[in-house]
Structure 1
Amino acid sequence: MQGRLSVWLIKHGLVHRSLGFDYQGIETLQIKPEDWHSIAVILYVYGYNYLRSQCAYDVAPGGLLASVYHLTRIEYAIDQPEEVCIKVFVPRRNPRIPSVFWVWKSADFQERESYDMLGIYYDNHPRLKRILMPESWIGWPLHPLLGMNRVNRMKLNEFIMPNYVPRTSFRWTPESHIGRNEELE
């Protein structure tokens, strides 16, 4: 079953794949990465003037990465805005998607977070740099191939607890706790 937007896209010869509807009845479409920017501009002109959210996830082991866009068509004097979910799938080895920052400014931090966590490059994004992880981080923590390793775990511990010194030679004895109760009183 195709939704209203899918029928409109077919009528105008725009390539996409309908993925059905989610549990809330929101139409979900798959767009190829090479077609995404032009279709994003068309959707904006069509009336989808608000990017509610953007996220990314790992589809399946050995599979693809997905960048998901939730768009809303907000019009004056309409009680129920029209919504659509767009999914753009990319390979893990070279995940590149055109940025929609110049269409919806709210994509700025959201695309940066997807880059920072999964390593998806958003072409033509003006400030595509780390937003959550330290600049010294190697790889992407949620990327299935280039995620956490021993070096990054050590760097993360230094970032979270910079003054923490592990006590490797401490051995508990009854004498080691003498005097602690007096400090508390």
Structure 2
Amino acid sequence: MNTIDRYEFNIEAQGRLSAWSTRHRFAHRPLGYDYRGVETLQVKAEEWLSVAVAPYVCGFNYLRSQCAYDAAPGGPLVSVYHLTQVQDEADQPEEVCIKIFVPRENPRIPSVYWVWKSSDFQERESFDMLGISHQGHPHLKRILMPESWIGWPLRKDYVVPNFYELQDAYQVA
């Protein structure tokens, strides 16, 4: 059984968002806290869009960043969402981190563009560099690499081409 399918843990040991999600039966797995004390949760890709509403309802109204990385050669790819609760005159706004692990073959995650518009370019970069397809994204296409580029440059198993000619740049008149 997948560890995220079954939840047996102490609610007092959970962070605020994890406890709220547990009470409202949103599937997730608490991953603890990072070095700054930011609560980190894991969510299944197929449940991400419905679960994404939970942090928004809890006041995490700002998507500070979305990034992705290759966990290990041949292993899963990870999409990471850093959410912040923006309030008037808040010195230390509350933050939460959500991680979504997907297989490297056909990696798909629902886009949260319709929840946080700031995910637009960030999800496109994850697609361009790692090949993670954000389903439902209105503009999902390469943003950094040329449309003709083959492969995903930030994957650990990416084979760098021997050359990428820019013929026009080296023409002598």
- Between the aligned partners of 2:38 and 2:64, the Cα distance in structure 1 is 13
2:73 corresponds to: 61
1:148 corresponds to: 159
- Between the aligned partners of 2:67 and 2:47, the Cα distance in structure 1 is 19
Per the alignment, do residues 19 and 162 of structure 1 end up closer, same or farther by CA in structure 2, a change over 3 Å counting? farther
| 2:107 pairs with 1:104 | no
The offset of 1:149, in angstroms, is 4.1
| 2:24 pairs with 1:15 | no
- Between the aligned partners of 1:23 and 1:43, the Cα distance in structure 2 is 21
Q: Is the 8 A contact 2:26 2:51 kept in 1?
A: yes
Q: Deviations over 1:141-173 (max 9, x none)?
A: 12244x3343xx533x42xx74226xxxxxxxx
The offset of 1:79, in angstroms, is 3.0
- Between the aligned partners of 1:45 and 1:4, the Cα distance in structure 2 is 13
- Between the aligned partners of 2:159 and 2:123, the Cα distance in structure 1 is 21
- Between the aligned partners of 1:15 and 1:134, the Cα distance in structure 2 is 38
Q: Would you say how many aligned residue pairs link Structure 1 and Structure 2? A: 160
List runs of 5+ in structure 2 lacking aligned partners. 1-12
Selected match of 2:170 from 164, 172, 182: 164
2:91 corresponds to: 79
1:171 corresponds to: none
Q: TM-score, normalised by structure 1?
A: 0.80
Give the match's secondary structure for 2:169: coil
Selected match of 1:125 from 119, 131, 137: 137
Give the match's secondary structure for 1:163: helix
More helix per residue: 1 or 2?
1
Q: Deviations over 1:71-103 (max 9, x none)?
A: 001122433211000000000001000001111
Query: Percent identical across equivalent pairs?
Result: 65
Bigger relative contact order, structure 1 or 2 (CA pairs below 8 A, ≥6 apart): 2
Q: TM-score, normalised by structure 2?
A: 0.86
- Between the aligned partners of 1:56 and 1:10, the Cα distance in structure 2 is 26
Q: Deviations over 1:37-62 (max 9, x none)?
A: 01112221221100000100001122
- Between the aligned partners of 2:137 and 2:22, the Cα distance in structure 1 is 29
- Between the aligned partners of 1:71 and 1:127, the Cα distance in structure 2 is 22
Q: Is the 8 A contact 2:72 2:156 kept in 1?
A: no
Instruction: Give 4+ residue runs of structure 1 displaced > 3 Å after superposition.
Output: none
Matched ranges for 1:36-47 at <5 A = 36-47=48-59
List runs of 5+ in structure 1 lacking aligned partners. 166-185
Q: Which amino acid aligns with 2:99?
A: K
| 2:43 pairs with 1:31 | yes
Q: Which amino acid aligns with 2:149?
A: W
